[in-house]
A = this chain, B = another copy of it.
């Protein structure tokens, strides 16, 4: 089972990507965790370390896929 984390910040682009892409992932291969960086600021450092530059982003096995552009990680920080 691969590990996948979907980082978002509640922005419209994020919500659209979450609904559009996450629904189509094969849950027999992958169990996506959804992390809202706007409310879960403690996870921002972890996202940065793996290479997330903007949200929404899907990280599968340490590969980062930025999906469209909602907000930069800098803008998500309070």
The complex is assembled from copies of this chain, and their number is 2
Shortest Cβ gap from A67 to chain B (Å): 5
How long is the Cα–Cα vector from A27 to B30 in the complex, in angstroms? 13
* A72 interfacial contact with B, CB 8 Å: no
Shortest Cβ gap from A27 to chain B (Å): 7
Interface size for chain A: under 10, 10 to 19, 20 to 34, or 35 or more residues? 20 to 34
Pick the contact of A66: B58, B60, B67 (CB < 8 A).
B67
* A17 interfacial contact with B, CB 8 Å: yes
How long is the Cα–Cα vector from A24 to B60 in the complex, in angstroms? 9
Chain A window 15-56, contacts with chain B (Cβ cutoff 8 Å), 1 for yes, 0 for no? 011001101111101100000000000000000000000000
Which residues of B sit under 8 angstroms from A67, Cβ to Cβ? 65-67
